[in-house]
Amino acid sequence: MFLINGQPGESISANNRGLHYGDGAFETIAIHNQAPLCWEDHYLRLNYGCERLGMACPPSELLLGEASRLLTDKERCVLKIIVTRGEGGRGYRAKQGVEPCRILGRYPWPDYPVQYATDGVRIRICRTRLVRNPALAGIKHLNRLEQVIARNEWQDDSIAEGLMLDSHDKLIEGTMSNLFLIKGQKLLTPELTECGIEGIIRKNVLNLAGNIGLDAVVCEISKDELNTADEVFLCNSIIGIWPVRHIEKREFAPGIYTEKVRQQLLKKNIILV
Amino acid sequence: MFLINGQPGESISANNRGLHYGDGAFETIAIHNQAPLCWEDHYLRLNYGCERLGMACPPSELLLGEASRLLTDKERCVLKIIVTRGEGGRGYRAKQGVEPCRILGRYPWPDYPVQYATDGVRIRICRTRLVRNPALAGIKHLNRLEQVIARNEWQDDSIAEGLMLDSHDKLIEGTMSNLFLIKGQKLLTPELTECGIEGIIRKNVLNLAGNIGLDAVVCEISKDELNTADEVFLCNSIIGIWPVRHIEKREFAPGIYTEKVRQQLLKKNIILV
């Protein structure tokens, strides 16, 4: 179910620049009791992406109002908000005076096994690399072919996620999640200045590290550091926290700190599972 | 005017993966007397792009048949064909068994001044770089934010195109065109193995170089080589050949070889202007 520029509908113009060029940004938001979690964080990032792309971001109140029209029952669900540069399907030049297009979609809560959050997941390392691209870094934009190609490297349902490296063999993130390593008292996560998406849950994890006695460090992390990590976990707004138990042949014990992070996020109503 | 999976319409599903991820490929084709120019070349590239993305390409005869339904008058026009991975708007993983979506759109012939082809154009060099990305190189895919950002660097209508460099300061192409330099008897064009789109007109220009006494060379070309070129020109399926007269402060004389190339392409019915 969608609201497109405020109107209920199932379709968008075939001239939309989102289709032709991926010319837009998006957010994926967990909904509980009809309320979006971490709304301010999501809106800030959407607004920043629109600004970087040189398009106006619809006002927060407008999007919240439209979201409330879509979220009529109290179940958990997922809200996806896409903002594109609107009409203009041939020619890269953006026409002046064209209104951005906003597409709000409600999706069912995904049916990941509940043990993914409690017992952990098996993951792999993707062959597809993330390219360092300062023009696009930091924007949650609609050019997502790297992720699509990486995610389609495997069909084995027992593998829950794939890690992506950049062209310099540095760990960056999962296809749909951010990555954390715990080593002693250090909570490490990759720097995302050249590529990757700075997730909302990632930001919140970094903020609460001190509460549970961890030193948060944002830095370059090479693939080999997976071998010496005590704990590894993934996060995003929908999956919450997934402890990593297996990366290819390497096995990890259930993580005490990972569970502490998850409990803190649950208590603060930042994640739902 | 559009045909979407063979049906006349103006809209596509809001769940189309073309919108959500730029998950597809496209072609832009010159039409004259209801016939697409260089159809085999365009179809080959579209088919290759679909194959690289792991999706089925609609058969050539189906696309040609649908094109003929759109092209009802004898004017010049532009046909844009988009093939996306179809439905499935949340989750990077491609659902098995989903049909690709084909979107054929007819657009008016663009109103570039006719002197652009005969007398030449003024161009600039963009700040936005093309990133070397082997996973996507060679596919005319829908992730085109680099081109959108580059094209929106300038609003001055007297500048017809912008050249793009890669992150190693090598010349690659224009935002919407391929690039050629002539030096003595050499016809030079950038190698496009790491980024850039191998244009249909580019391929035809390389093929006919021998006919007019030029040696075609595909190689790395640094930005400085613009300073020592005798002639510079741009090409694509719609603009045909644009001789370059000014690149920022550098001026070029009208090019004799460039005009010979253009005349050969016109004679062979590869370009229209």
- CATH, residue A23: 3.30.470.10
Q: Which of A161, A173, A194, A231 is catalytic?
A: A173
* B160 and B104 share one domain: no
Find out whether B243 and B180 touch, Cβ atoms under 8 Å: no
Residues of A in contact with B84 (CB under 8 A): 19
Whether A61 is covered by a domain: the verdict is yes
* B122 and B104 share one domain: no
Whether A71 is covered by a domain: the verdict is yes
Q: Chain B: nearest CA to A69, how far in angstroms?
A: 18
What is the CATH classification number for the domain harbouring B131?
3.20.10.10
Distance between CA atoms of A120 and A134, rounded to whole angstroms?
A: 33
Residues of B in contact with A15 (CB under 8 A): 10, 105
Say yes or no: A135 contacts chain B, CB-CB below 8 A.
yes
- Residue ending a domain, choose from A57, A79, A108: A108
Catalytic (active site) residue A173: yes
Distance between CA atoms of B216 and A211, rounded to whole angstroms?
A: 65
- Residue ending a domain, choose from A108, A141, A176: A108
Question: If you search the block for the tokens 């964080």, which residue do you land on?
Answer: A41
Domain limits for position A131? 115-267
Say yes or no: B8 contacts chain A, CB-CB below 8 A.
no
- Residue in chain A lying closest to B85 (CA): A148
* A129 and A230 share one domain: yes
Whether B273 is covered by a domain: the verdict is no
DSSP state letter for A17: H
**Contact call for A135 and B144, based on CB within 8 A:** no
* A82 and A122 share one domain: no
Find out whether B181 and B231 touch, Cβ atoms under 8 Å: yes
CA atoms within 13 A on the CB side of B112: 21
- Residue in chain A lying closest to B174 (CA): A92
Whether B209 is covered by a domain: the verdict is yes
Say yes or no: A178 contacts chain B, CB-CB below 8 A.
no
* A128 and A263 share one domain: yes
* B104 and B124 share one domain: no
Whether A272 is covered by a domain: the verdict is no
Catalytic (active site) residue A140: yes
* A127 and A51 share one domain: no
Find out whether A237 and A37 touch, Cβ atoms under 8 Å: yes
Q: Which two tokens stand for residue A210?
A: 């001190």
Distance between CA atoms of A88 and A229, rounded to whole angstroms?
A: 49
Best mutation target, B19, B84, B103, B136, to test chain A (most A CBs within 10 A): B19
In this prediction, does ipTM exceed 0.95? yes
Quick one: which of A176, A171, A204 has its CA closest to A189? A171
Say yes or no: B141 contacts chain A, CB-CB below 8 A.
yes
* A126 and A250 share one domain: yes
Give the B window 98-127 contacts with A, CB below 8 Å.
Answer: 103, 105, 107, 110
User: With a cut of 70, which residues of chain A have pLDDT below it?
Assistant: none
* B12 and B41 share one domain: yes
Whether B143 is covered by a domain: the verdict is yes
Q: Which two tokens stand for residue A167?
A: 């062209």
Q: Compute the CA torsion angle A17, A18, A21, A25 (nearest 10 deg).
A: 120
* B140 and B263 share one domain: yes
Find out whether B272 and B32 touch, Cβ atoms under 8 Å: yes
- Residue in chain A lying closest to B130 (CA): A133
0.95 exceeded by pTM: yes
- Residue in chain B lying closest to A81 (CA): B20
Look at strands A250-251 and A240-247 and give their pairing: antiparallel
**Contact call for A23 and B144, based on CB within 8 A:** yes
Q: Considering Cα of B234, then B240, then B245, then B246, what sign does the dihedral take?
A: negative
Which candidate from B14, B91, B143 shows the least CB-CB separation from A22?
B143
Whether A66 is covered by a domain: the verdict is yes
pLDDT of residue B138: 83
Say yes or no: A146 contacts chain B, CB-CB below 8 A.
yes
Q: Chain A: nearest CA to B126, how far in angstroms?
A: 12
Number of structural domains (chain B) is 2
Which candidate from B13, B89, B152 shows the least CB-CB separation from A54?
B152
Whether B187 is covered by a domain: the verdict is yes
**Contact call for A147 and B80, based on CB within 8 A:** no
Question: If you search the block for the tokens 């010979």, which residue do you land on?
Answer: B260
Q: Which of A27, A66, A84, A140 is catalytic?
A: A140
Q: What backbone phi and psi angles, to 5 degrees, belong to B18? A: -65, -45
Find out whether A87 and A67 touch, Cβ atoms under 8 Å: no
Q: What is the pLDDT along chain B (273 residues), one digit of tens a residue?
A: 899 999 999 999 999 999 999 999 999 999 999 999 999 999 999 999 999 999 999 999 999 999 999 998 778 999 999 999 999 978 999 988 899 999 999 999 999 999 999 999 999 999 999 999 988 988 999 999 999 999 999 999 999 999 999 999 999 999 999 999 999 999 999 999 999 999 999 999 999 999 999 999 999 999 999 999 999 999 999 999 999 999 988 999 889 999 999 999 999 999 999
